[in-house]
A and B are shown apart, each in its own frame.
Chain A
Amino acid sequence: MSTIVRPVWAGKPKPVVLALKALAIVMILAVILFPFLIVVSTSVSTAEDVTAAGGYVVWPKSFTLDAYQQILAGGVVTRAILVTLFVTVVGTLISLVCTVSAAWALSRRSFFQRPVLMIVLATFLFTPGLIPLYLMVKQLGLLDNVWALILPGAFSVFNMVVVRGFMMGIPQELIDSAKIDGAGEFRILGTIVLPLSRAVIAVVALFYAVGYWNAFFNALLYINDTSKWTLQLVLRTYVLQGSSLVGGASDASVLPPAESLQMAVVLIAIVPILIAYPLVQRHLTKGVLTGAVKG
């Protein structure tokens, strides 16, 4: 990360430009943070406040952590977090390995480049139906198995195409000089391509991780054992509980309002991403390629 705040060659910005930029930043932050203020406020509001405000509290009159307490007590959500952590970490690793290696392999000329690329791209356009996919997962014996949450979606064509796109921008001279030095494909991938692709790999890792973290529908379909349900699936049931009486609430206790639960659910799911993003951001600094193609 560059320690120089502004590169010498950039010159001083005009005050007008600075003012406009500042204004733009303030407006952007306001437009986004105001609704999030509502999200946070509603999640810590009492039932009276939420009802009085029609479901969306801007500033809480009284503060309560009931919604969070209800969600986090009892160990159900904790268990789901553990399951989801496993799925996310393992899944992202597997996905990255598959994606990066496939992206590199398909960016190099080979006898199979064209046909395999076509095969891979075609899956971007055509998706299988729900039931055949379910039957396949069943056939592989993955029902009620956490691997059913990882393998079917482990490889995303979109992500691979993006990584490949970046890799095609790697200067050929670097590859060639490595080949002359006698490096094989794996060595080139490991020592040259990966470091230069830090940014896009970090980004794609983020995309995969977020995908695994937020997934719920596959857990719903493939996992019957609720102790293996993922976080989002479990969190949705808390929102459901607060918002429906069709089935007749058999539970006697008073629940936190549905809107508070809904907002609390959003925040709980977002926290890990807030934590993980700075890790990605470190790789998005300027000048990844700087100095790479010097003599």
Chain B
Amino acid sequence: MNDTTSGLSRRTFLTAAGVGLAVLGLGSTLAGCTPGGATSGAAGSGALVPLPTYVPITKGPTPDLAGSATVQPVYLSAPKEAELFTSVSGKAAVSGTVSGFVISYSPPAPASNSYLQAAEQELGCKLDLQVVPADSFAPKFATVMAGGSVPDLVEFLAFQLPPSYPQLLKAQFADLSDHLSGDKVKAYPNLANLPTPSWEGCRINGRIYGVPVNRPPFGNMLISRPDVIKDLTGAEPAPKTKDEFTELCKAVTDAKRNRYAISGQSNGDSVDWGYDFMGAMFGVPNGWELQGSKLVHKWESDRWLETLSYIKELKDAGYYHPDTPSISGSQAKTYMANGTVLMHQDGISAIIDPSAPEGVVYDAILPFAADGGDGIVYQGSSMFSFTAIKQADDARVKELLTLLNHLAAPYGSTEGFFLQYGRAGEHHTREADGRVVLTEAGSAQIGPTSLNRLAAAPQILASAVPMEERLRRSHAWQEQASPMLQKSPITGLYSETAGKTSSSTNALSSTMNEYVLGRTGFDAVKSGIASWKKSTNDKVRAEYQEQLEKLS
């Protein structure tokens, strides 16, 4: 009722914060079909520069479970001192101060940050990082870019790319192709160690504009509680057909005991009923599909309609948690942890969630086809973000790349060990059993300094909290699911219209949600899809196809 403002009234905040609010929630819907890179219709691009050559570093401690191009290696213990190797030659020799703009999921670091000082010594320069809380990244990004003083290193989130980012990159950031494309990346061995799928999202307009922060290639999957399901049904969940899945849901749901088979979540602008997993079951493609030479969107196929009907069937039978349209991702996770919900679509990191109470086991359901055939899992952007370098002369760009190279020091290297654990005694201690434990100073300083947002080693499967079983499960699932990865044909492409018409896509998404909830009929969905096709999607398709032809 009263306006206790302090600078920004409710309204300005809302308009702006709205950008930041909930956009994070788009993560799961976008993971499967993020256009990582881009080719804007604007400038004529020319050839596609080759991605940096992949030169995996094989030195260092042997993993307990080996990895591969698509599977993360498992390390059950921290590297021993003797195992550490050097991965960089000398300091980064960067002059002056390096400014950065990074996201943070942690509280700020304390004022006296010895870790940062030590890192600056290692890197040979001063660091001035603007650390932005994750729930407000978008408005802050918008104001900093509009304000005109662009920092040297800027993080672009894979799941929340700013509007018109190809134009922004071209206007303000350096084209790194001449430094990183093909074999040129060998000058930066730690960057060459980053797997190729992660680089795909950094190639925009056919040119390389950033250094990625690697993540596993898997999009979303159906995380489950195999321990509870085993208690209820006698065996861990391994459905192979749609009917088996329905049976599984029926067997574990007991509304009176407040237990539901599966839950979706609200992503702010839409509800996700587990669309990626369910769609994959019916063969719905990852965002788009090339039928011959024509691009067809996933919503345009009958398989999508089948998916929606199936979801509605499950919802009407009461297998979905009834509050699905309102609960947030973290609330759904709490329900998973306490057994209220036994399956929930999430990213691969949910399996090794360190906040899960003792005794809780997570795994993921192996995808399968509705009729019993092989399943698909959508391939995501394979990165968390990429770091772009502000336009500068060649020498400066080289300096900054050396800096990023240092930060991407692989697991098991001395530099990587320092970046992860800080200085011995001060930031971490070694237990008798070899485990490395962060001290209070370490916890307060290392994560919040957010150096790993600028560049980092390829992500491995490890945890400081002992959770051997879940690490093994994640690894096993990754191995089995790797052959099922399905790439999106529009990876590396950008559609201007797609960036400007989220509203009509969201409106259609709302209609589908209304259908699942029973408030509108199937025909409304079909006609909604038809009109959305005409009003926006055909244009988007045309733009993507144009680029496909140009760049192939």
Contact A156:B5 (CB < 8 A) given known A48-B357, A226-B109 = yes
Indicate whether B292 reaches chain A with its CB closer than 8 angstroms. Answer: no
Within the assembled complex, what's the spacing in Å between the Cα atoms of A66 and B154? 35
Indicate whether A172 reaches chain B with its CB closer than 8 angstroms. Answer: no
B60-117 contacts to A (CB < 8 Å): 103-111
A35-93 contacts to B (CB < 8 Å): 47-48, 50-55, 73-76, 79, 91
By beta carbon, the residue of chain B nearest A241 is B106
Please tell me which one of the listed residues B3, B104, B357 contacts residue A47 in the complex, with CB atoms under 8 A apart: B357
Indicate whether B290 reaches chain A with its CB closer than 8 angstroms. Answer: no
Name the A residues within 8 Å of B420 (CB-CB).
Answer: 250
Contact A52:B338 (CB < 8 A) given known A131-B143, A246-B105 = yes
Name the B residues within 8 Å of A76 (CB-CB).
Answer: 107-110, 444
A82-117 contacts to B (CB < 8 Å): 91
By beta carbon, the residue of chain A nearest B134 is A240
Indicate whether A243 reaches chain B with its CB closer than 8 angstroms. Answer: yes
B96-148 contacts to A (CB < 8 Å): 103-111, 130-136, 139-140, 142-143, 146-147
Name the B residues within 8 Å of A124 (CB-CB).
Answer: 3
The segment from B10-18, B231-239, B245-253 found at the interface with A is B10-18
Indicate whether A268 reaches chain B with its CB closer than 8 angstroms. Answer: no
CB distance A234 to B338 under 8 Å?
no
By beta carbon, the residue of chain B nearest A151 is B7
Please tell me which one of the listed residues B7, B110, B131, B459 contacts residue A153 in the complex, with CB atoms under 8 A apart: B7
CB distance B147 to A135 under 8 Å?
yes
Indicate whether B347 reaches chain A with its CB closer than 8 angstroms. Answer: yes
CB distance A128 to B12 under 8 Å?
yes
Indicate whether A146 reaches chain B with its CB closer than 8 angstroms. Answer: no
CB distance B355 to A255 under 8 Å?
yes
CB distance A212 to B107 under 8 Å?
no
The segment from A1-9, A11-19, A178-186, A217-225 found at the interface with B is A217-225
Within the assembled complex, what's the spacing in Å between the Cα atoms of A162 and B2? 10
Contact A237:B110 (CB < 8 A) given known A51-B338, A74-B440, A221-B139 = no
Please tell me which one of the listed residues B109, B147, B355 contacts residue A138 in the complex, with CB atoms under 8 A apart: B147
CB distance A127 to B11 under 8 Å?
yes
Within the assembled complex, what's the spacing in Å between the Cα atoms of A60 and B325? 29
B363-387 contacts to A (CB < 8 Å): 384
Name the B residues within 8 Å of A215 (CB-CB).
Answer: 6-7
CB distance B11 to A220 under 8 Å?
no
Name the B residues within 8 Å of A221 (CB-CB).
Answer: 8, 139-140, 143
Max chain A Cβ within 10 angstroms of own Cβ: one of B13, B106, B107: B107
Indicate whether B464 reaches chain A with its CB closer than 8 angstroms. Answer: yes
CB distance B440 to A73 under 8 Å?
yes
Please tell me which one of the listed residues B134, B142, B355 contacts residue A247 in the complex, with CB atoms under 8 A apart: B134
Name the A residues within 8 Å of B9 (CB-CB).
Answer: 127
Indicate whether B4 reaches chain A with its CB closer than 8 angstroms. Answer: yes
CB distance A248 to B8 under 8 Å?
no
Indicate whether A134 reaches chain B with its CB closer than 8 angstroms. Answer: yes
Name the A residues within 8 Å of B24 (CB-CB).
Answer: 244, 246
CB distance A210 to B349 under 8 Å?
no
By beta carbon, the residue of chain A nearest B24 is A246
Name the A residues within 8 Å of B459 (CB-CB).
Answer: 248
Indicate whether A264 reaches chain B with its CB closer than 8 angstroms. Answer: no
CB distance A226 to B108 under 8 Å?
yes
CB distance B142 to A244 under 8 Å?
no
The segment from B198-206, B329-337, B517-525 found at the interface with A is B329-337
The smallest C-beta distance from A239 to any residue of chain B, in angstroms, reads: 9
- Chain B interface SS verdict (over half): mixed
Within the assembled complex, what's the spacing in Å between the Cα atoms of A211 and B337? 37
Indicate whether A290 reaches chain B with its CB closer than 8 angstroms. Answer: no
Name the B residues within 8 Å of A227 (CB-CB).
Answer: 108, 111
CB distance B2 to A257 under 8 Å?
no
Q: Mark B450-468, 1 if CB is under 8 A from A, else 0.
A: 0011000001000111000
CB distance B437 to A74 under 8 Å?
no
By beta carbon, the residue of chain A nearest B142 is A131
Indicate whether A158 reaches chain B with its CB closer than 8 angstroms. Answer: yes
Within the assembled complex, what's the spacing in Å between the Cα atoms of A238 and B525? 41
The smallest C-beta distance from B223 to any residue of chain A, in angstroms, reads: 12
Please tell me which one of the listed residues B4, B12, B17 contacts residue A129 in the complex, with CB atoms under 8 A apart: B12
CB distance A246 to B27 under 8 Å?
yes
Within the assembled complex, what's the spacing in Å between the Cα atoms of A258 and B106? 12
Q: Mark A180-197, 1 if CB is under 8 A from B, else 0.
A: 000000000000000000
Name the A residues within 8 Å of B103 (CB-CB).
Answer: 247
CB distance B357 to A51 under 8 Å?
yes
Name the A residues within 8 Å of B142 (CB-CB).
Answer: 130-131
The smallest C-beta distance from B350 to any residue of chain A, in angstroms, reads: 7
Name the B residues within 8 Å of A250 (CB-CB).
Answer: 420, 446-447, 452
Name the A residues within 8 Å of B384 (CB-CB).
Answer: 246-248
Within the assembled complex, what's the spacing in Å between the Cα atoms of A247 and B349? 9
Indicate whether B353 reaches chain A with its CB closer than 8 angstroms. Answer: yes
Within the assembled complex, what's the spacing in Å between the Cα atoms of A74 and B113? 11
The smallest C-beta distance from B2 to any residue of chain A, in angstroms, reads: 6
Please tell me which one of the listed residues A50, A55, A150, A153 contacts residue B5 in the complex, with CB atoms under 8 A apart: A153
CB distance A247 to B8 under 8 Å?
no
CB distance B110 to A212 under 8 Å?
no
B342-361 contacts to A (CB < 8 Å): 347, 349-350, 353-355, 357-358
Q: Mark B35-63, 1 if CB is under 8 A from A, else 0.
A: 00000000000000000000000000000
Within the assembled complex, what's the spacing in Å between the Cα atoms of A163 and B2? 13
Q: A130-B12, A248-B349 are in contact. List 16 more A-B contacts (CB 8 A).
A: A51-B334, A124-B3, A128-B12, A130-B8, A131-B142, A133-B8, A150-B6, A212-B6, A220-B140, A221-B143, A226-B108, A246-B349, A248-B459, A249-B447, A250-B420, A253-B464
Q: List 25 A-B contacts (CB under 8 A).
A: A51-B338, A54-B338, A73-B440, A76-B107, A130-B15, A135-B146, A138-B147, A153-B5, A220-B136, A221-B140, A233-B133, A237-B104, A240-B135, A241-B105, A244-B134, A245-B349, A247-B105, A248-B349, A248-B384, A248-B459, A249-B354, A250-B452, A254-B354, A255-B354, A258-B330
In the A-B complex, the 9 residue pairs with the closest CB atoms: A252-B464, A153-B7, A211-B4, A152-B7, A153-B6, A226-B108, A158-B3, A130-B16, A215-B6
Which residues in B have some Cβ–Cβ distance to A below 8 Å?
2-9, 11-13, 15-17, 24, 27, 103-111, 130-136, 139-140, 142-143, 146-147, 159, 215, 330-331, 334-335, 337-338, 340, 347, 349-350, 353-355, 357-358, 384, 420, 436-438, 440, 443-444, 446-447, 452-453, 459, 463-465
